[in-house]
Structure 1
Amino acid sequence: MDEVKGTGGSVKRPDKRAERSRRTREKIVAAARDLFVAQGYGVTSLQEVADRAGVAVQTVYFVFRTKRGLFKDVVDTTIAGDAEPVATMDRAWFRAACAEPTAAGQLRSHVRGVADILGRVAPIMPVIAAAAATDPEIAAQWPAAGPDPRYTVQHAAAKALTAKPDARPDVDADRAADLLYGLLSPELYLIFVRDRGWSPEAWEEWAATTLAAQLCTDAPVSTGRGQAGVS
């Protein structure tokens, strides 16, 4: 960042070049996401992405090097909601949910946070599956070896939830993690919202009340965001 002198000493001001680079990257990612969802990964060219983003195709290559690199950035930023290198368990919404004093309160906040992620991720899930099926190097960007990152997040949430006073005493953290992992999965979200026409709010309400019956002694937990039905 540049520095300017003032009566109080040096004051940092935003680096205009870094800000321009950030905005350019965001425009390219947004354009690529729209095109990948609309017409698929395979048929989308980097020239089309550049044209939609209003930049030169050389800029796309300079920033992302390859189409695969761009695709990974699209997926990662879609999941996170931004380009900040912050893990899910370190994000404010997750930490705030885990800090809730009751299991019911944590569950309500947790489902809300996951719903936000799934609302962003759901449209691109079929694109990821199709791209990985046709390009082995795409699948290799998210190695299957090791713990599933989504399960790791849900297990951390489950450990916090099962330690709360209104958590069901007969459900341990592993069982709770399985329930969170299964009921809050992208696949199940797509079945209800995309295939069956539920509104996202109706899915959220259903997921919260269903999980509350399994995990909390004082069920159900209403989100106040809709009834289980179509939009």
Structure 2
Amino acid sequence: MGVNSRPADRERRRYDSPLREERARQTRQAIIAAAHRLFVVQGYAATSFADIAKDAAVARPTVFAAFGSKAAVLREVVDQALAGDDEPVPVAERPWFRPVRDGRTPKAILSAYAEVCRIIGGRAAEVFEVVRRAADEGPELADLWETMQRNRRAGATMVIDLIEALEASPHLDRRRAVDLVWVFNDPSHYRTLVGACGWSEQEYTAFISDQMHHGLGLDDSADR
């Protein structure tokens, strides 16, 4: 190989690397989309790597190479259902969560958080149910379910922190307040009310907001 070919080789590698990375990302996303569909329709236990590979139009070893285990695929399905994409940005830093942080009254914070519950419920309620049903199938899945519950509680705690940080914050029994918001941020409510009972998303959002507001004992004077 002549010395003059080396700069061209380096330039080609610099060009090829982003292209390979983008193709790998597209493959991962196809796998995640296929797994999401199949887990919801067939259930976790009944879905195999071969099923996911076929639906994603990739080879079975490709699925294994990308994730290593079916539980790891499910974990990524959960993460992306919650966030809405594969960007490494926490839910609390997403633009659609910002109105919760910007709320200047308890009612404004809770109304904005009810909207967050609607967004997450619409994307993740069925996936939550998949994990709940699969949680008895092994320690990795049980840990995923417990992590999801802890993250929900962390979200409820953040909401109460924001309310208590207001200039004229209401007096709350903190532990009980977190418990109550944690109960109502459960995506199973969306699955039941919107999915099974046929409520509109607007009705669901208003209900969750009102239930959190009244459950916390916040009268109109607390929102002025």
TM-score (norm 2): 0.79
1:184 alignment counterpart: 185
Q: Distance in 1 between matches of 2:143 and 2:173?
A: 34
Does residue 43 in structure 1 map to residue 51 in structure 2? no
* Secondary structure of 2:220's aligned partner: coil
> Which of 135, 152, 163 is matched with 1:150 structurally?
152
Q: Structure 2: which 5+ runs fail to align?
A: 1-10
Q: How many aligned residue pairs are there?
A: 207
- Report the structure number with the largest CA radius of gyration: 2
> Which of 111, 116, 124 is matched with 2:114 structurally?
111
The structure with higher relative contact order (CA 8 Å, sep 6+) is 2
CA contact (8 A) 2:78 2:128 kept: no
Mapping for residues 1-16 of structure 1, pairs under 5 Å? 15-16=18-19
Per-residue deviation, 1:25: 0.8
RMSD after superposition = 2.8
* Secondary structure of 1:148's aligned partner: helix
Identity over aligned pairs, percent: 33
* Greater CA drift, 75-84 or 185-194: 185-194
1:58 alignment counterpart: 61
TM-score (norm 1): 0.77
Q: Distance in 1 between matches of 2:80 and 2:100?
A: 21
CA contact (8 A) 2:82 2:91 kept: no
Q: Distance in 2 between matches of 1:196 and 1:96?
A: 28
Alpha-carbon displacement from aligned partner over 1:155-181 (angstroms, at most 9, x marks no partner) = 1111111333565x2324433322211
Q: Distance in 1 between matches of 2:166 and 2:220?
A: 12
Mapping for residues 1-150 of structure 1, pairs under 5 Å? 15-142=18-145, 148-150=150-152
Q: Distance in 1 between matches of 2:182 and 2:146?
A: 19
Q: Distance in 2 between matches of 1:92 and 1:196?
A: 30
Per-residue deviation, 1:133: 2.0
2:209 alignment counterpart: 208
Greater strand percent: which structure? Answer: 1
Greater helix percent: which structure? Answer: 2
Name the CA shift for 1:209/1:141 in 2 (closer, same or farther; >3 Å): closer
Per-residue deviation, 1:125: 2.4
* Secondary structure of 1:84's aligned partner: coil
Q: Distance in 2 between matches of 1:30 and 1:133?
A: 24
